[in-house]
Amino acid sequence: MRRILPLLYLLFCLCHGIQAQQQLYNGTGTVTFAAGAPLSLIKGTSAKAVGTVSLQSHKLYFEVPVASFQFANSMMQERFNDKYMDSKRFPKAVFEGELTEAGGQVEARGTLTVHGVSRRRNIAGTLVRQGDRLLLKTDFTVNTSDHHIAAPKLTGQSMAEQINVQLEMLLLPVQGSRNQLSINHIRRVR
């Protein structure tokens, strides 16, 4: 009996650790933003967004390198990085917060940091389980003035004061050996 009790305790701890670990997800995804009217649309896409979600603690962390956004032409990309976003000085856009869930619909409450300015945000989206994976999708608006971004002039007349942002990310369960991405993000979500 003395030997069985410690073995049962060890087995319980191991099983609990495995279960908790399966509730931690890392992923990469695509962020697309668009500003302006259809005829004078400024649109950028990055496939380098990374994130971590803990279903156990309900915490999440996402970031995208600002300089990773691609545009229709190199002039747009240069102006975006140098004039509007100052990507050398502010290399990442980050969202860190907590997740609330209600039947596939989720809301993330946290802090969005863009252009070095942090703002509290509530962002709605969907989180759908696909086997052992999670698919996260969200679509939200960012006001350029909230983050001290000089709004780009469109066709020399109007200003793009709102930016529509879309994120789609496939999240995989963290298992066994953890890569550097998960180590950095796990510290934030546990």
What value, to the nearest 5°, has the Cα angle with vertex 41 and ends 114 and 69?
40
Q: Is residue 112 a contact partner of residue 94, using CB atoms and an 8 Å limit?
A: yes
Q: Is residue 43 a contact partner of residue 76, using CB atoms and an 8 Å limit?
A: no
| pLDDT given for residue 17 in this prediction | 41
- The dihedral of CA 148, 149, 150, 155: what is its sign? negative
Closest residue by Cα to residue 26 from 190, 188, 187, 181 = 181
Mapping DSSP onto H, E and C, the string for the chain reads: CCCHHHHHHHHHHHHHHHHHHCCEEEEEEEEEEEECCHHHCEEEEEEEEEEEEECCCCEEEEEEEHHHCECCCHHHHHHHHHHHCCCCCCCEEEEEEEEEEECCEEEEEEEEEECCEEEEEEEEEEEEEECCEEEEEEEEEEEHHHHCCCCCEECCCEECCEEEEEEEEEEEECCCCCCHHHHHHHHHHC
| pLDDT given for residue 102 in this prediction | 64
| pLDDT given for residue 184 in this prediction | 54
What value, to the nearest 5°, has the Cα angle with vertex 22 and ends 16 and 26?
145
CATH 3.40.640.10 fits 24-189, yes or no: no
Spell out the per-residue pLDDT of the chain, length 190, in tens.
Answer: 555 544 444 444 444 444 444 589 999 999 999 987 666 778 999 999 999 999 889 999 999 999 999 999 898 899 889 988 999 999 999 999 999 876 669 999 999 999 999 999 999 999 999 999 999 999 999 998 999 988 666 545 445 788 999 999 999 999 754 544 444 555 555 5
| pLDDT given for residue 103 in this prediction | 66
Give domain limits for the chain. Answer: 24-189
